[in-house]
Structure 1
Amino acid sequence: MCDETFKLIMKKLLVVISIFSLFACSDNSSVKMKGSDTEVNLAVNLAEQYTKVNSDFSIAISGGGSGLGITSLLNGQADIANSSRPLSDKEIEQFKKANIEVKTVVFAEDATAFIVHKDLPLEEIDLETLGKILKGDIKNWSEITDIDLPINIYGRQSSSGTHSFVKKKLKIEFSNAAKEMTGNAQILEGVKADKSGIGYVGAGYVSHEINSNALIKILKIKEKPNAVAYSPIDTETINNSLYFFQRPLYQFVLAESWHKVKPFIDFEKSAQGKKMIEEHGYYIIEEK
């Protein structure tokens, strides 16, 4: 083989390798986000807007619960885990053992809303009574209202950060009769169709579509029977940290993926991103 032919073959081979590398890098740059059902709608809308600004950005988003997102991060199946709770001590230890570094981003604040059917004659509830309902000690609405209906509880699976959050805040174990739903949408639809239902969802999930959720009622929460009752969709209440079930929302990011994730995180913290977060019924945490 002459030198010129050899050089031509090598040149073509280098072009093929370069094209293959380009596609490999492009695929590798795709961001995978999994986790909290509370955050998934907001995350999808933020991503849609960001891709209009940066058309090269590629992201795949799915829910399934905070626990699933964190497990996916640990198993290398996600770059970002959306979570409505902090990492547990066990999870922190698992990341350490696997020698995986994780960066923590708190990008918004949420409140958990407790919903009932619009026809239920109940506007507010205290923590003790709510706890008794969710753990099954109070089984009929006649025990606290004028209506005689067995109580149906619509909750989440144990992998849900909201499930864990409510359980810890009330210091209870949920009733075995509680229906385990896959997400906010299923709980919302369940309570809409059930005059005896009670469930819990992200306040941001219902507050920005309150007109389309006319069949449900968001209960005001009071810490004691004679205390002031507060609504999770009242901005002033949240800004003053008066609502019992408010919490930060987390995004845990693999340190090795930070370079491709950071532009999206920056967008979330931009004026446009903050506006979208607020429009979805969530609250901005101002950095100190």
Structure 2
Amino acid sequence: MKYFFIPLTILLFACSDNKTVKVKGSDTEVNLAVQLAESFHRYKPSLFISVSGGGSGLGIASLLNGNADIANASRRINEKEMALFREKGIVLDSFIFAQDAIAFIVADDLPLASISTRQLADLLSGKVRNWEPIAGKRLPVNIYGRQSNSGTHDFVKNRLHISFSPAAKQMNGNAQILEAIRADHSGIGYVGAGYVIHGVTKGIKVLPVYTTDRNAAVSPLDAAKIAEGAYFFQRPLFQYFRAKDSLQVRPFIAFEKSPEGQKIINVGGYYPAKK
């Protein structure tokens, strides 16, 4: 199964009152949301669902401005955003429907089997600009990441307590990062694990991550370790919606919580929400 990320909107047949449930936001979540929406349509064909990406920040802004009914976000809404909702008198509700793991990827011929959080911080901040001290190969480090409105960008930055190097290339989505690393043998990038599990990974290597003990490195593809909460870069995936729209969006959310919805989440390369 291949994932192709293109600007997309999936539209499913309209409900009787001609209202659309618009889901916008996180690029990490967009393919999963499309799969859930397609399956939900077979379960309840009278409901109209629209799914598009663009980043967590865009999804939250669209919810604020009335251009979305559900905002997909791979990060928690921040206080500045919450203040804007309060100014408009909008009460929010939220739902954690899955969890994701961030995969750090390099070219498969880079002589590196795992990486520490300290090494990642040094590389992504620009403190270390050559692979020699980490991989033993004299190559300049090229960083491929997400744009600043991406929840993944914020998550990695905050988890490592860094600011990204000004030289980091800001890509529109996970698929672009995968293609960049495939073409650049001195690159490092980060993507949602679901894109690696079901994407075209020829020429790419996923690096297990450790904090202090190299022998304790954990892969983002290890479902058992994710279930234990053992991977340093795992996170909840959120859906935000206006409380007043609860009745309109609840059928879709209920489907996501159902056994069928949870199966789609697992097969899609994501992990069940931690209880």
TM norm. shorter chain > 0.5: yes
Q: Partners of 2:176 and 2:74 in 1: how far apart?
A: 18
After TM superposition, the structure 1 stretch with the greater mean CA deviation from structure 2, 83-92 or 173-182, is 83-92
Q: Tell me which residue corresponds to 1:26.
A: 17
Q: Partners of 2:70 and 2:215 in 1: how far apart?
A: 40
Check 1:24–1:122 CA distance in 2 against 1; reply closer, same or farther (3 A cut).
Answer: closer
3-state DSSP class of the match of 1:70?
A: helix
User: Which protein has the larger Cα radius of gyration, Structure 1 or Structure 2?
Assistant: 1
Q: Partners of 1:190 and 1:24 in 2: how far apart?
A: 41
- Whether 1:285 and 2:273 are equivalent positions in the alignment is yes
Q: Flag structure 2 segments of 5+ consecutive residues without an equivalent.
A: 1-13
Q: Tell me which residue corresponds to 2:84.
A: 94
Check 1:93–1:279 CA distance in 2 against 1; reply closer, same or farther (3 A cut).
Answer: same
Q: What is the CA-CA distance between 1:145 and the residue it aligns to?
A: 1.7
Aligned match for 1:224, one of 206, 212, 229: 212
- Whether 1:130 and 2:120 are equivalent positions in the alignment is yes
Q: Flag structure 1 segments of 5+ consecutive residues without an equivalent.
A: 1-22
- Whether 1:275 and 2:250 are equivalent positions in the alignment is no
Equivalent position amino acid for 1:223 in 2: T
Q: Tell me which residue corresponds to 1:213.
A: 201
Equivalent position amino acid for 1:239 in 2: A
Equivalent position amino acid for 1:272 in 2: E
Alignment of 1:167-186 (within 5 A): 167-186=157-176
3-state DSSP class of the match of 2:120?
A: helix
Q: CA RMSD in A?
A: 1.5
Report if aligned partners of 1:103, 1:254 keep a CA contact under 8 Å in 2: yes
**Deviations 1:7-47 (CA, angstroms, capped at 9, x unpaired):** xxxxxxxxxxxxxxxx99633x2111110000000000110
Q: Tell me which residue corresponds to 1:17.
A: none
Alignment of 1:64-83 (within 5 A): 64-83=54-73
3-state DSSP class of the match of 2:33?
A: helix
**TM-score (ref. length: structure 2):** 0.92
Report if aligned partners of 1:208, 1:279 keep a CA contact under 8 Å in 2: no
- Percent of residue pairs identical: 52
Aligned match for 1:37, one of 27, 32, 57: 27
Q: Partners of 1:281 and 1:107 in 2: how far apart?
A: 14
Q: What is the CA-CA distance between 1:269 and the residue it aligns to?
A: 0.8
Equivalent position amino acid for 1:238 in 2: I
Q: Tell me which residue corresponds to 2:10.
A: none
Q: Tell me which residue corresponds to 2:238.
A: 250
Q: What is the CA-CA distance between 1:257 and the residue it aligns to?
A: 2.1
Q: How many residues align?
A: 262
Q: Tell me which residue corresponds to 2:3.
A: none
Equivalent position amino acid for 1:26 in 2: D
